[in-house]
Structure 1
Amino acid sequence: MLRVLDAAALRRWAAACVEALDADREDIDRINVYPVADGDTGTNLLHTLRAALDALLRVESGAEVGVAAAALARGALAGARGNSGVILSQVLRGFAEAFRDRPTADAAALRSAFARAADLAHAAVADPAPGTVLSVLRSVAEAVAETDAVPESGAAPGAGAEDAAGLAEVVVTAARTAAHALAETPRQLAALARAGVVDAGGRGLVVILDALVATVTGQAARADVPQHRVPRSAAVLHAERESGSTEFGYEVMYLLDRTDDARAACLRAELAELGDCVSVVSDGTPGGLGLWTVHVHTNDVGAAVEVGIEAGRPHRITVVRFADQVAAEPSRFARDRAVVVVADGAGAAELFRGEGAVVVVGRPGVAELLAAITGSRARHVVVVPNADELTPVAEQAADQAVRSGQDVIVVPTASPVQGLAALAVHDATRRPGDDVVAMAEAAAATRRGELVVAQREALTWVGRCQPGDVLGMAEGEVVFIAEPADLVGAACRLVDLMLSVGGELVTALVGAEAPGGLAAELEEHLRRTHPEVELTVYPGGQTEAILRLGVE
């Protein structure tokens, strides 16, 4: 039972949300009838949370909860899909603002988070209607605020005043209230009543809050979630909007930067003249100088983009014609899971293939990585880039694959030794969200080092190097410069430096240009100086580094 939320708990919650939404996606899509019966609310929520989790995995495990929450919110905003995704990004922004500058978040902070989330989500919608996720969220915020007056069971008088109700009581109250408020949505919105369903966005929020209950209490939420009927016919799903405005055939979304609060307000007003379901929301940067997400339903796609150009710099523009949205064919995916790995040497490539990964050799571009992802024919794909400079490439390829219906997450690895550590804990029988978290944590826990030959004269942290010098590097920084004739000595020195802060297992990938006997000399050195350390040596075959080391 958690008393506070920290960065690790947020990571588990995000992974649990992705897993739960993946399981419920089709059911949520099926009941999506308002404001447009486009059947994508569950899918949009899932893709938005996957983007949020992807961003959170890049945050150091020891970070403060405020830093982790900010990354989660920014990832959701950047990857928001559809109106439901935009609203979810604002919910997470509310959490980020309430947790700002906090190492951990207690019950009082969580109550503030729900209140701020409800305010931001309502502000994100130009014409909020009752009976939607906004109604459910407002009910939750009001209910958890009342727990402030309820002392925690068994608490000593005067103790824990800032945490009177306890974290568990707050999250359980939130989940139960959301379930009950969801049951009321058909009575508040005629479109839902006609279709015989509850609000799809509200149903997604219940799933997300149930995952929070499980994260905090360690037990599945027991809220009575209302059941829905399968819609009766296609015709009944095409309900008119409550506002009475003309239906619009296109959804336009884009990210916007180089703007500010004043221009964003003008953009919101101009979009309201072009269509409905208008949202122009930011990541919360003071003055509105950060990243914004724009969403509108319209028939004039060009005008919706043009007003964005006048307001700032639109990018990642997405246009969807509602009539063209179709479900992915069941036969598209031949398997459930796959891992796509980049390897820069023949030996390393064979190691990864031996672990069952799809391997791309060399320094691929976006198109090549995308081909490997889609060619895996897997529903869930993890991409392991194994180089800092390849992580943005992998993210672009993953984003394109996600837009076409695959679930793809990039685990940021800066070296093949970290990729090996991630593959070592990969378990295809585990839930996808949990598996990604385990792989990311294993990679982050592996310290990396390498011996490379300097190609040009340069100034390093430890002095000036000349072409041909051997550079000992740890975590991407030069830690010593050695003579070219002493490669074995340099390898021993590097492993000693890396083990000076501890370690039980050393993994070595020997490069194509390494001298014969390097592995044997390294093994003998560790036997004498660190007999407690286990060494595993593989022929990596890489040409960019004489030796790569990983320490766990």
Structure 2
Amino acid sequence: MKIEHLDAVMLKRGFIGAYSSLEKNKEEVNALNVFPVPDGDTGTNMALTMNSAVKEIRNGEELSIDEILSRVAKGSLMGARGNSGVILSQLLRGFTKKLTGINRINVKELAHAFKEGSDMAYKAVMKPTEGTILTVGRGCAEKAMELSRKETDVVEFFRAVIEHGNHVLDKTPDMLPVLKDAGVVDAGGKGLIVILEGALKAVLGEEEVELEVITQTAGKELHQLDHDIEFGYCTEFIVNNAEGDPEALKAEIESFGDSMLVVDGDGIIKVHIHTNHPGEVLEKALKLGELVDIKIDNMRYQHHENYSSKELQKYGIVAISVGDGIAKIFEDFRVDRIISGGQTMNPSTEDILKAVDSIDAENIIILPNNKNIILAATQAKELSEKNIEVLMTKSIQQGISAMVAFDESQELQENIECMTEAFESIKVGEVTFSVKDTVIDGRVIAKDDIMGIASKKIECVGQGVPEVTEELLESLVDEDSEIVTLFYGEDVGEDEAESLRQLLEKKYPEIDIEMIPGGQPLYYYLISVE
């Protein structure tokens, strides 16, 4: 079957086929992620981005080529998730831009569209890395331009581009040693080939095109309405000259609210709790000693003042979070909008834009808190007309450290500098499990092994969570370390966390050990050392 031009119907089928192919094969793409962590989601992010790109053209209407291109470009841009999704959205954005205004698309025009897509994707990344989806996209574009000088059949053109793209994909392990060590090709590059293969099959009618749209929402904002604040008073105080059992106090007051922290040491007990009955909490604490530094804030009133006032706030903060405990910590720091997402499902550019648009503030600071969300946050900044700064926080721990340093009385650039200095000064680690057998940096890792990770490197592997956590801390703690904070996940019991805290306090008597319920999925512990 020879095709010399693509019309609107073929173009529409091609885009939908590209998405359908990726949706069917996303787990195969996910499995290529180098790190065997349970949140390897390249295929998922690319599929969700493609879904957003095509959902507006799957409505049964007869659309022109320009209408299809416009909807695909906007949909992919707004729905982009994760680094792979953002890069894919830029590939599609350049591709569609070059074809706009053309009624019947031929090989030469397709070739220039491939090149424009590749160029735009490279420009979107501050430090492009070869051996990734960028390399595969450029390889496809170069082959397309070469073919355009002699080929007129769209079908043969696509087959040759895909064949060359697979050849480039097979070479990605030679460009990135980490791929070679793991015995895989680049996941994003594989996703791009799957997209092209699906598009060609759909145009040729070799594969049925599903008309249903799978709708998934990765990001959602938490605690935005007054009635979402179950316990209205943020209550903090210190029990001085404390005599009594802090654990007994914890047991007495835990039924009065949530977000409770009770930390003891050197004859004092620090207490934090969200409650509707601060007076009763203080009565309980009085039995142990005198109370000082009492602070009670009405969060419902503050919430109403923040979001109902027509006057602009000086600052608005958007943070990506994961886990109820982590979200509550960001709430305590007066973060305006919390988007649930993080490790397990990256929020889209549109999710972040919606959060930004809902804040009336002179300056808005976005904390991505995940390296895979920074590009989407940056893209949201570029699409918004508001004054936005994106802090390059790559972990929840860095985000919390940045908020500790935030000072509303400072000017924007002073805040950005202080917050950046704060989060860059801490060491972070995480404890999770392996989802597959693999080899990384010469280390053999089996499925379900417990891994301790720091600075993008697997520091230790073992069978027990406490043992691996303790070993990981040995690589993070040095003579200058003063505070170690461990946020324990939803799969760690309070007793287990407390037992580990006691062990670490004996091992590091000069260091303040804080154990906080984070409630995050998949990661047993998120660790911060300062």
The question of a shared fold, defined as TM-score above 0.5 by the shorter chain, is answered with no
Greater relative contact order (Cα < 8 A, sep 6+): 2
